[in-house]
Each structure stands twice: as structure tokens, then as C-alpha cells.
Amino acid sequence: MSTISPLLPTNEQLCVELSAILANKRISTLFQPIVDIQQIEVFGYEALSRGPSDSPLHAAPILFETAERCDKNNQLELCCLNSTLQHWHQHSLTSKVFINMNPEMLMHPGVGIKKLLLSLKKYNICASNIVIEMSERFPINNIAHLKLAVSWLREQGFLIAIDDLGAGYSGLKLWSDLKPDFVKIDRHFIRDIHEDLVKREFVRSLVDLSERIGCDIIAEGVETSAELKVVKELNIHLIQGFYFGRPRAIPSASLELCQTKEEPQPRAYGQFARDLSEYVEPVSSTTLLKHAWEVLQKNPTIFSLPIVDDGRPLGLLHRWRVLELYGSQYGRALYEKHPVIKFINKDSLIVDVNMSLDDVSQRLIDEDYHYLKQHFIVVEQGYYLGMGTTRSLLKQLTHQRIQIARYANPLTQLPGNVPIKTEVEQRIAQRESFYFAYVDINHFKPLNDYLGYKVGDTVILKLSLLLKNTFTSAKDFVGHIGGDDFVVMSSHPHIESVCHKLRKDFFESIKHIYNPSILEQGYHLGKNRKGKEQKMPLASISMGVVWIKGDSRMTEDELAELAATVKSESKTAINGYFQLTAE
């Protein structure tokens, strides 16, 4: 039981309560999962400490604030650490555990690090399974000492993470100084990210930075499928939040939510919001309704008027809204001398000029369940560029999908040569950085001859399905050149590891076509191109990859030559993978 009254305890009483908790080791540990949505597995758990449930120090904020005031930071940190490792050992977990530690603790080897090593030895836990989290919320007075401590921790096998990036004042500097293995984006930037372009672009910039310096991003605070969808599109695959699991005493995660994938629809390849943007002269927020109505009357084809101040869009004034106001008794006299800012639709959909038409379409659908918006505002770097209409969007999407269906491969229904060519041209023209992967089935002809064309078609379909289920981002493109040749265009930050996994998954998906004796010997007999019988290896895939930088001046023909080169090299590579960078 708690040692004090729960009614407004004084600071002195809270210090007494904390001393009792520490003396009796009454700190409890909860675990929240960090899920790898690509591998559909728990990557690790963050350990979260709490006081006793019957104590005013139960909640973590007041627990640690009290320790700060009572000069018991080190004692509390060590107690939390011991509780975490003890419970970790009891649950016999093998994934990584993320442990929050005050940076000041790490700069006192005789206290924090020594106790950590002793605890690991006591519970027989490997240092490589421990990720030390340091929050930018804590001020760091001596970065040089901290860098030395982190360097020593790395030598022992520990991994390092920065927590709550964006919540404090020193996050990017800490990132630069410590070069962590993981960076956790503060939940503020993940909450409602599907509705906030600024948050989306901020997170996108962090992902781009992490890809360049070799660091994994963890999205904290994911609570809805809409938020998950956006972070997936941003190529973040490590997710923490209530969506997959709340902090619990017994570690667990809802991994089945990783597998709730929507059937991918054909994309409007090479089409962006800019393609539908038409400039409509805006009016300012102080324009009188009378004058705005005059503008609408002079332009009968315009049904909404953009309201813009200093280049930044504020919303739309709809024609129907003015008619509604003027249609009421004395409406014109009452409202026409008021500024339009009082009557605009402030939840107007605003999209970036580089947003794909499919994403614009999805945003329109997600925005409101009651009615479909007829217009959207197009911006470039936040400044008004023009307007688009839902009618033109649907018309363009329909046209594009008809074109894709026309040129789709008849077996796999993947985009064929014409859409592939269009996609390449568009990405190069937009100076987009991306990987171009040429995927080919090795020893396909002997397999086709030996087992028949129906089995050959099955193998091709298996590969097409694997590619579609592997490259699921809105920015990914999977095409089928023909036969057993495929192409993938993606910005995935870990393309090589994804390709190696794809190679293993491919063989697992097709090995049932061979009888056990052939699988055991690793080959089957078949005729080579000269008609002579010889041992033929089992089917596998090779992947030749070209990295195209956004600032490269590569032409489509030059990419074709490089693709042919990497394809040839990958066929002879031991692991079936070859990559080069386009200069």
C-alpha cells in the first residue's frame, strides 16, 4: 500500500514515497512492441517504467519529476533498469529491448554503465539485444563526454537510439554528433499525418536524411490505419504505437494488422496534381462577399473561388454557399458587405503539386464520408498554384487505367512495355532518385521444357505476386516486360536486403513443383540450347539494380544500357544480385 495520503501530497511526502518505492523495488515494467511491417514480426519492445498502481507516483512523468526534485535520478534509473532486465529474462524474449536512459547516467561509467553490464551478466542477456534510448528532452552539458561513452557502448555491442526527435531543441545536433542506429520520430509528427501536409513533408525529409547516413527511422504514436498507410508510403517500416499494441506487462503485438492489405489498384503512372492544376485568379480574405460574387458571376464555369493571402491558400468560397446566403430573407443585404473569410470552406483539400493522382483520389475519399469535394487546391512549397476538379481527376484516372489495361501483360496483368517506358521517362524528367531493378528467372527455359508451359506460367505468376506484395508503396512500380523478365522501380531504403529476401521467398514458393529427389540433388536433367542433355540447376531469380540519383543527367537509352549490364552481371553473381550507381 502507498505510504502517504493520495490527497495533494507535498514535495516532502512525495520524496518519502519515492524512497519507499526504491527501497522495496516496487517499480513495474511494461513493454510496448516495435513492429517491422515488412517482415511482419516484432522487431523489439520499448521498456516503460511505472510506479505502484496505488501510489501517487504511478504515472511516469510525476515519478521521474519527483526523482529529479529529490535528487534520486540515479537510484530510480538503476531500479528501472534492473526491473526491465529482470522481466525481460523472465519472458525469455530474443528480440531487441529499447531502454530509456538519461544521458547523464551514461557519462558516469562507475554508476550507470557498470551497473548495466553487471545486470546483463546476471540475467545472461547479450549486449547486442539492448538499444539505449536517449531523449533530446534532456539537456546535454558535455557532448564530448557523451560521445566517448556512446563509442564505448558500441564497442561492447550496444545499439543507440535517439528518442522523441522533434520534441526538443537539440535533436538534429544530437543526431549529427552521436550517429545513432535508430531515430524515433516524436508522436506529434505522426498524429493525423494523413491530414497534415507539413507533418508529412517534415517526416519525409527525416526519412531522406536517414537513408543517406544509414540510420533506421521508427515512427512513434501510430494509432490508426490512415496514419500507418502514410508512414508506409514514406518507407518507414519500424512502427510503434497503440495500433499494434499498448504497453503491457506481458509482451505482445497484433501482427495480424500488418497483413490487412488492400488489393493494389492500377496506378495513374506518370500523372501528378500539377497535370490537373488550372490557375484561377484568387481573392484575398478581406474581399467583400459582394465583389467575390461579381467575380463568380463573370466566370460561369468557376464554381469555387480560392481565397489566398500572401500566396498561402486559406480555403474556397463555393458558389452554392453564396447562393445559400443570398437566398435567405434579407440575405444579400445582411452578408454582401462582410469579408469572404467569414464564409469560406476552411477544410478545403490542399495537395502538393507533386502528389500522384492516386494519392489525390485517396485523399478526396478519406476527407469526408458525407460528401465528395468537387475541387481541390494545388500548392507548390505551400504557395498557391491553381485548382483542380474532382471531375477532371476521375476522367484522367479512368483514361490512364484504360491505357494500362490495354498494355498490360495478359498473364500477370502487370503494366507492360508502354507503361514501363512512360514511368521511366516521367521519373527521369522529374529528377527523382530511385532504384531500377531488372528481375529475371534463371534457368527458366529448362524448367519450362522439363515440367511444361503450365508450370512455367505458374512460376511466372508466383514471381509477379511476390513482387506486387513486396513493393507496395504508392511510389513503387512493378512491370512485366514479357516472358520471365520483370522490372521494379522503387525508392526503398534497403533495396538489397529486400531483394535477397525476395530471392529466398521465390524459391520457397516454387519448390513444390519439383519432386523430393530433384530437390535433394539440386538439379534436373534437361537439354541445353545445342540439344545436348545435361544437369540443369533449379530455378532461381537474379536481380540487377541501377541506382539513379535525382541530380543525374541520365537518358532513357543510357538507363537501358545500364539495365542490360546489371542483368548480365547479376546472372553470374554468386548471390544473384548486382548493383551499380548511374553517374
Residue 139 has pLDDT above 80, yes or no: no
Share of the chain above pLDDT 90, in %: 31
Mean pLDDT lowest among 112-121, 315-324, 339-348: 112-121
96 close to 123: Cβ distance less than 8 angstroms: no
Please, where are the H alpha helices in 214-337? 225-233, 289-298, 319-327, 331-335
Task: Indicate the pTM of the whole model.
Answer: 0.48
Q: How far is Cα 131 from Cα 142, in angstroms, rounded to an integer?
A: 21
pLDDT the model gives residue 77: 86
CA dihedral (121, 126, 128, 131) in degrees, to 10, reads: -60
Q: Which residues touch 577 (CB under 8 Å, ≥6 apart)?
A: 496, 499, 500, 503, 542, 543, 544, 545, 570
Residue 333 has pLDDT above 70, yes or no: yes
Q: How far is Cα 524 from Cα 537, in angstroms, rounded to an integer?
A: 7
CATH number belonging to the domain at 409-581, selected among 3.90.550.10, 3.30.230.10, 3.30.70.270, 3.90.78.10: 3.30.70.270
- β-strand partners of 185: 165, 219
Q: How far is Cα 42 from Cα 338, in angstroms, rounded to an integer?
A: 57
H/E run at residue 223: none
Task: For 514-543, give one letter per residue: b (16+ CB within 10 A) or e.
Answer: beeebeeeeebebeeeeeeeeebebbbbbb
Arithmetic mean of pLDDT over the chain: 84
51-84 pLDDT tens trace:
998 888 988 889 888 988 998 888 888 899 889 8
Three-state secondary structure of 14-75: HHHHHHHHHHCCCCEEEEEEEEECCCCEEEEEEEEEECCCCCCCCCHHHHHHHHHHCCCHHH
Question: How many CA atoms lie within 13 Å of 455's alpha carbon, on the beta-carbon side?
Answer: 16
265-285 pLDDT tens trace:
444 444 778 888 889 899 999
Ranges of each domain in the chain: 11-259, 273-394, 409-581
Mean pLDDT lowest among 366-375, 443-452, 500-509: 366-375
Burial class (CB in 10 A: 0-12, 13-18, 19+), 54: exposed
Strand 159-165 to strand 130-135: parallel, antiparallel, or no bridges (unpaired)?
parallel
pLDDT the model gives residue 498: 93
Residue 493 has pLDDT above 90, yes or no: no
Mean pLDDT lowest among 101-105, 431-435, 540-544: 101-105
Longest CA–CA separation in the chain, Å: 95
**Band of the pLDDT at 505, cuts 50, 70, 90?**
very high
**Band of the pLDDT at 50, cuts 50, 70, 90?**
very high
404 close to 422: Cβ distance less than 8 angstroms: no
Q: How far is Cα 578 from Cα 571, in angstroms, rounded to an integer?
A: 9
CA 38, 41, 43, 48 torsion-angle sign: positive
Arch. (CATH architecture) of 273-394: Roll (3.10)
Instruction: Please state which CATH class domain 11-259 belongs to.
Output: alpha beta
Amino acid at 141: N
Share of the chain above pLDDT 70, in %: 91
